A and B are shown apart, each in its own frame.
Chain A
């Protein structure tokens, strides 16, 4: 299988066997049309998910991470959305060109989703067992029986599945509901499980249970996973590779270990420094100044420039590309390997990171 060499805009990583990835997103663009305006929510996102691999999409609200993930099974309604460019190759086929029948086939069948709020995703008037059976009927009719439902509930760690399958969603706790959602998603034996903030609505101890469960399942079922989160801590727990998104673009893409050990993009660095760490004695958090830009009002040039400590004068004018700066490390920044700018060169001389570094070395 001959593949074109990875170029600047399309980071493609092959798994060790050299087979094509399960999902290959190339230069994806997504717009929401409202009236005469088109607001671009995703702007040139490219990444791949290999078989058995877990990829994390990390970013804050409005960065486009959820709509990117939903696009893999075309779950973003069009209109209001439209795709002005790009492709999403799922097992080599472009999802953006599929017919309704083909889409029905892949939704649930190849790609399954679990969402943030399990209580909103389950139907309150049906027993959880029959909701799982519904998924089985659609995708594996030969297995649509109670025994299989029980097996699935057991797989996701629900105690006494025989009686639990007769419960209604409101009789289960949030963590149990999320387990049911996962059982439902797994019923079709998907090749890719997309989990959109699966633990955000849950308590910390329950969050740990669900992450543990997902990690265990991905190993046992050799399934690919796309996990969307804003919590960098979860990334270290479960991800093989990470894509950090900001304002509709990937700003950094790397293996989870590399990225967490040494983030290269100023946004990733700032994000990691802005969360308090247990046992860390630092008196003050390094907040990122300003706010996440709104859809349709993304800054010119590099979109992070108004909040970036490294920004120089030309950052608002030049658009950086996502470039492989080191082997398997992709960064969208002109100055990722340069030191912090001198006050005369800096675009944001009052950025807290800059002020702090000047305090520490007043001579320079």
Chain B
């Protein structure tokens, strides 16, 4: 088995409750049958608009949210069935970096405590001096200074805080990090620093990333493969270069054309999609994208298109692809 992570038919459905006795009125199908693989040292980008289920999928994979159905195999073991001690031991191998560098660090803890907590839980340092040394190394690895260890999060800028979050994730030497919009809260000039840092760390340590973002340009830049989600389902999956040059799904095409382009000479035609993303409580029949699709045909309203390998390594869920 050479896949680090194998997700099969993962579903996360949230019950919608109403009324006096909290009767379950329906389900939000946040993630509806997603399968994916992640190889060691690979970056899989996950794009989609808000509400498409990309964050829920990322969290369900590391069991911050309990999946409703499906399996998640990490290094061959199904982690959806692990509990307690076993799960905690496994969690050392996969970590998460969050979007908001302000909300994800405890303001009452020093940087040393924030990073040291993970080291303590997994008992990765025997002596106090070993712990200190390790924290200093981690801070240097993310471009901070060992003297920063005694400071509190509020003393740092947004980009520096995100570096602390990365150091915390690295503290337990994970094999995979789920990065949930790690740069979208940062200033433009700082985003590139963090993207470069993540790429350097991947090269040095061979960490695999599941990189969740809504900015296609960023995702394309950092990922080896890109997966596009719409209403809880994967609509396209391919190598990142392929998906940008030769997208197959009309939603991916629209998403790509919606990215503002700096070059004023590029007069690419913009596909402006009508309407909004429908509610995942009551998704459209057939292909979930059909109400907004510019090339919809009758069949799309009835049949749900399966995700199929249209070209080698290039998967799309569209009848017309």
- Chain A: residues with CB nearer than 8 A to chain B? 60-61, 173, 175-176, 203-209, 211-212, 230-237, 256-257, 260-261, 270-272, 274-281, 284-289, 291-292, 307
In the complex, what residue of chain B is closest to A257 when comparing beta carbons?
Answer: B264
**Known contacts A277-B217, A278-B220; A205/B273 CB under 8 A:** yes
Digit string of B235-278 for contact with A (CB within 8 Å is 1, else 0)? 00000010011000000001111111111110000101100110
Q: Within 8 Å of chain A (Cβ to Cβ): is B150?
A: no
Q: Is the CB of A256 within 8 A of B264?
A: yes
Q: Is the CB of B255 within 8 A of A275?
A: no
Q: How far is the CB of B269 from chain A (nearest CB, A)?
A: 12
**Known contacts A286-B192, A288-B192; A278/B256 CB under 8 A:** yes
Q: Is the CB of B187 within 8 A of A278?
A: no
Q: How far is the CB of B274 from chain A (nearest CB, A)?
A: 8
Interface residues on B, range: 35 or more
Which residues of chain A come closer than 8 Å to B272, judged between CB atoms?
205, 208-209, 212
Contact of B261 among A205, A278, A307 (CB under 8 A): A278
Contact of A284 among B159, B190, B196, B241 (CB under 8 A): B196
Q: Is the CB of A287 within 8 A of B189?
A: yes
In the complex, what residue of chain B is closest to A230 when comparing beta carbons?
Answer: B188
Q: Within 8 Å of chain A (Cβ to Cβ): is B3?
A: no
Q: How far is the CB of A81 from chain B (nearest CB, A)?
A: 23
Which residues of chain B come closer than 8 Å to A173, judged between CB atoms?
276-277
Which residues of chain B come closer than 8 Å to A278, judged between CB atoms?
216-217, 220, 244, 256, 259, 261
A235 to B160, CA, bound (A): 28
A109 to B258, CA, bound (A): 33
Which residues of chain A come closer than 8 Å to B191, judged between CB atoms?
274-275
In the complex, what residue of chain A is closest to B271 when comparing beta carbons?
Answer: A208
Extra inter-chain contacts (16) besides given A61-B187, A276-B218, A281-B241, CB under 8 Å: A60-B189, A204-B255, A204-B259, A230-B187, A232-B260, A233-B262, A276-B192, A278-B217, A278-B256, A279-B241, A279-B244, A279-B245, A280-B221, A291-B157, A291-B159, A291-B160
Q: Is the CB of B264 within 8 A of A175?
A: no
Which residues of chain B come closer than 8 Å to A232, judged between CB atoms?
260, 262
Q: Within 8 Å of chain A (Cβ to Cβ): is B100?
A: no
A143 to B44, CA, bound (A): 54
Q: Is the CB of B255 within 8 A of A205?
A: yes
From DSSP, what is the main secondary structure of chain A's interface residues?
helix
Which residues of chain B come closer than 8 Å to A261, judged between CB atoms?
264-265
Q: Is the CB of B262 within 8 A of A275?
A: yes
Q: Within 8 Å of chain A (Cβ to Cβ): is B49?
A: yes
Q: Within 8 Å of chain A (Cβ to Cβ): is B132?
A: no
A291 to B33, CA, bound (A): 42
| 4 closest Cβ pairs, A-B complex | A233-B260, A276-B221, A287-B192, A203-B49
Q: How far is the CB of A186 from chain B (nearest CB, A)?
A: 20
Task: List CB contacts (< 8 Å) of B207-235 with chain A.
Answer: 214-218, 220-222
Q: How far is the CB of A218 from chain B (nearest CB, A)?
A: 17
**Known contacts A260-B263, A278-B216; A204/B49 CB under 8 A:** yes
Q: How far is the CB of B265 from chain A (nearest CB, A)?
A: 7
Contact of A276 among B187, B189, B220, B241 (CB under 8 A): B220
